[in-house]
Amino acid sequence: MTSLWVVAEPGPDGGIARVSAEAATLARELAAQAKGDVIGIVIGADPAVAAGELADYLPVVWAITDPAAAEHVWSSVAATHVAKLLSTETPDVIFVGAGADGRDLAGAVSALTGLGVLVNATGVTWTDGGPAIEMSVFGGKLLTTSGFTAGRGIVTVRPNVTTAATAANKGKVEPRTAAPASQPSLPAVRVLERVSEAGAQAPIEEARIIVAGGRGVGGPEGFGIVEQLAEALGGAVGATRAAVDSGWIPYSQQIGQTGKIVKPELYFALGISGAIQHKVGMRTSGSIIAVNRDPDAPIADFADLFVVGDLFAVGEALLEQLRARSA
């Protein structure tokens, strides 16, 4: 019988990452289509909170306790456990989120087990032959559907592929110990310190609305209007490399080839020209609005709505009108 796994990455406050809740929702729907089983897996020093959260989405959650996870990089500890579970179990697909933790886990588990990996899935369906994974490749120029030659493998799932929805019934959590070492363990990498930076921006990968600023905002103060609009719309702040390189906003907010790839419902660009290296990171967004004073900026070719004008003037007018609506 078809068997699906979801390995949840750690999220805020000891819980799971939102992308893991989305992957769990997706896997539960697929298991229903395939008339198979779905199991969640949580690995942590104290996995109770995360396991409880994952059990909101899945009927069975295996909770693996490993004290090493407290002070080591999660994927370096978790990959060893997952690989050990795989020495006795044969799930058809293992789902993880497509963030840094999920990517590192997938790469390590794949090397330890020989399972293939399909990365950055934008959708998954179930066919007679097994899973069919949708991906957007070559910077969004091509959409592909792929499968595993051996029928089994690991899939990393992009944020916002589905909306996380809890199951009708809460699942049960089963403590679980991975089979004793048949594979060598990976070296666990020590975390000396976890530093929160003041004014850390909301993460862009999972945001449903992104308001992004480019060189056109002119300086760090220029991001004020971008931040106010993001707040008014309930979104996160993104940026181009030009703005990041100028030191106006941290690299974590950069969108594009050497930054992050995002797919929000709304991408709102202020003072961004739309260079190809930026476009590849945002072209699959649901709706794209751009404000730019240059009517010939490349972003005019792929925005849905292109407002020619000064971003500060249009931005202030928009803030005013949004405030008037909610008043």
258 is a site residue for another protein (CB under 8 A): yes
Of residues 224-283, those binding ligand FAD (CB under 6 A): 240-243, 254-259, 271-273, 275, 277-278, 281
Task: Report the partner that residue 243 touches, choosing among another protein, ligand FAD, none (CB closer than 5 to 8 A by kind).
Answer: ligand FAD
Considering only residues 67 to 86 of the shown chain, the ones binding another protein according to CB under 8 A are 73, 75-76, 79
Spatial strand order in the sheet of 153-157: 130-137, 116-127, 153-157, 93-97, 3-7, 37-44, 60-65, 172-175
- Reading the block at residue 112, the tokens are 């330890």
Task: CB nearer to another protein: give 59 or 298.
Answer: 298
**Min separation Cβ 279 and ligand FAD, Å:** 8
Residues sharing a CB contact under 8 Å with residue 120, sequence separation 6 or more, in sequence order = 98, 135, 136, 156, 158, 261
The C-alpha atoms of residue 287 and residue 302 are separated, in whole angstroms, by 10
| 70 touches, from another protein, ligand FAD, none (C-beta below 5 to 8 Å by class) | none
Give the Å distances, CA to CA, from 212 to 243, 277, 303, 308, 315: 10, 15, 13, 16, 12
Q: What's the closest the beta carbon of residue 212 comes to another protein, in angstroms?
A: 15
Q: Residue 94 pairs with which residues in a beta bridge?
A: 5, 154
- Among positions 28-67, residues that touch another protein (CB under 8 A) are none
Site residues (CB under 6 A) for ligand FAD, limited to 200-219: 214-216
Q: What are the residues binding ligand FAD (CB under 6 A)?
A: 214-216, 240-243, 254-259, 271-273, 275, 277-278, 281, 291-294, 297, 310-312
